[in-house]
Amino acid sequence: MNCIGEWQTQYFHMLKDIFEEHITKKHKMFDMGSATGVLVETFRRHGYDNVFGGDVSDWYIQNTPFPEIRDRLCNVEDGKIPFSNDTFYFIHMGQVIEHIPEELIPGVLNELYRVLMPGGIIYIATVGPLLPGTIDVDPTHVSLFTREKWEAFFLTAKFRNAFGFYKDRFQSNKMAKEYDWVNFVITK
């Protein structure tokens, strides 16, 4: 089974273009909410053997169609990432945080802060809050907040906003402009 297609390749290149200083082969990277490890495998196919993934679903990890990366996927059990403090220079969390119940978000952010290296960054992409009169058809979207509310969560977890440094890169990247994601870049 091959789940890596043109979209995943374009997404990999978008991440590389925007976060070129943090996506390197010398530092470890982590995909939070990796499911079966599609992004980890995409990085591997581009020569990056330093990318790990974690998910709350052990089923996804056990059923990954990518045997080459199975040992780089881990279960984020009870909100704990099984890595030492200050391990990762880049953490990716794309389309994940909106699935976490509001009361669990502070603990998740504290755990991400723990495993992020000083000077490292976390890229979070999520959907925006619903506009009045619209309905979200995904019942698993349990945390749809304004940018201000998300930023307050990040500040409480001791993160600093680093989006300004990357703003022009997001605006000039074709894929980043095409998708209507709410993007955050935070650092220790």
Q: What is the pLDDT of residues 92-120, one digit of tens each?
A: 999 999 999 999 999 999 999 999 999 99
CA distance linking residue 129 with residue 143, whole number of Å:
9
Cα 114 to chain centroid, rounded: 15
Taking residues 4-27, what's their average pLDDT?
Answer: 95
Taking residues 44-71, what's their average pLDDT?
Answer: 96
Taking residues 136-144, what's their average pLDDT?
Answer: 85
Do 90 and 123 meet the contact criterion of CB atoms below 8 Å apart? yes
Taking residues 34-48, what's their average pLDDT?
Answer: 97
Q: How confident is the model at residue 14 (pLDDT cuts 50, 70, 90)?
A: very high
Q: Between 38-45 and 6-18, two packed helices, what is the crossing angle to 10 degrees?
A: 80
Q: How confident is the model at residue 133 (pLDDT cuts 50, 70, 90)?
A: low
* Domain spanning 6-187, CATH class: alpha beta
Q: How confident is the model at residue 2 (pLDDT cuts 50, 70, 90)?
A: low
Three-state secondary structure string covering 104-140: HHHHHHHHHHHHEEEEEEEEEEECCCCCCCCCCCCCC
Do 109 and 153 meet the contact criterion of CB atoms below 8 Å apart? yes
- Within a 10 A sphere around the Cβ of 17, how many other Cβ atoms? 16
CA distance linking residue 147 with residue 112, whole number of Å:
19
